[in-house]
Structure 1
C-alpha cells in the first residue's frame, strides 16, 4: 500500500465523496444494506489492512472499560497503570484514547495486541454498521485515513449515481 499516493487521491476526491455521503442522509436507496454488502465484498478483494495500518498511524481508538481491563490483564498490569501509561481523556467526549500517535501498540506495522485489541479497532472500519447511512459522518471522517472506506464510498457513489434515481 502506497500511503503517499492514497493521501493525494483521498485529498483530491474527499469533497465529492463527502458530498455524496451527505446526500445519503436524505436519499437512501431502498436496497442499501444489500448494496453496501455487495460493494464492500469487492473492497476486501483489493484491500489488505495488514499491509496498511494507516488507521493505527493516524487515528486513535476509543477504549471501553472492558478493553482496558482485557488489555491490561494481557500485559500483566493493573488497569490504573495501563491508563496512566497509555491513555488520556479526550476533550469534549471524555472517552479514553491513546496519548500518542501512531498507536503505542503498532510494532513494524502490526498490532502487538491484536488478539485483545480494543473493540473499536476490531470493528474498524465499521462498514457493516446498520443502517449504513446513520454512520455517514464516521465514513466522511475516515475517508482520509482508511483506503478501504475510501474505496467503498467511491464505488458506492459510482453505483448509486449510475443505477438509482439520484437528483
Structure 2
C-alpha cells in the first residue's frame, strides 16, 4: 500500500467527506445499516491491514486496566512494569496511551501481541459500532489515517448521494 498516495487522496477529499459525516448527524437515510454492511464488505475486499498498519504507525490505542493486565501477563511482566516501560497518562484526557509511535508492538507491519492486543485495537476501525452515525467524529479523525475508513465513507457518500434525495 502506498501510504503517501493515500494521505494525499485523503487530504484532498477530507473536507467533502467531513461535510457528508456532518450531514449524517442530522439525517440518517432509511436502510442505512444495510447499506453500511454492504459497502463495508466491499471495502474489506480491497484493504489489507497487514499491508498498511498506518493506525499502529500514527495512532495510539487507549489502554484499559484489563488490557494492561492481560498484555502484561502475556509478556510475563507485572502490570506496573508494563506501564512503566511503555505507557503514560495523557495530561489533557487522563487516557492511558503508548509513550511512543509507532507502536512498540508493531513488527514488520504485524502486531506482535495480536492475540492479546488492546480492546481499542481489536475494535478499530470501529465500522461495526452501532448506531454507526454516533461515531461520525471518530470517522472524521480516522479519514486520513485509515484507508478502510476513508474508502467506507467515500463509498457511503457516493451511494447515498446517488440513491437518496437528501
Common fold: TM-score over 0.5: yes
Which structure 1 residue ranges, 4+ long, deviate > 4 Å from structure 2? Answer: none
Matches within 5 A, 1:125-140: 125-140=125-140
Cα RMSD (Å): 0.6
Partner Cα distance (2:92, 2:110) in 1: 30
Partner Cα distance (2:50, 2:33) in 1: 26
Partner Cα distance (1:121, 1:101) in 2: 14
Q: In the alignment, what sits opposite 1:43?
A: 43
Q: Which runs of 5+ in 1 are unaligned?
A: none
TM-score by length of 2: 0.98
What does the per-residue CA deviation read over 1:24-58, in whole Å, with 9 as the maximum and x for residues that have no partner? 00010121111111110000010100110000000
- CA deviation after TM superposition for structure 1 residue 92, in Å: 2.2
Partner Cα distance (1:145, 1:112) in 2: 21
1:150 maps to 2:150: yes
Q: Which runs of 5+ in 2 are unaligned?
A: none
Partner Cα distance (1:9, 1:111) in 2: 26
Partner Cα distance (2:152, 2:91) in 1: 30
Q: How many residues align?
A: 166
1:64 maps to 2:64: yes
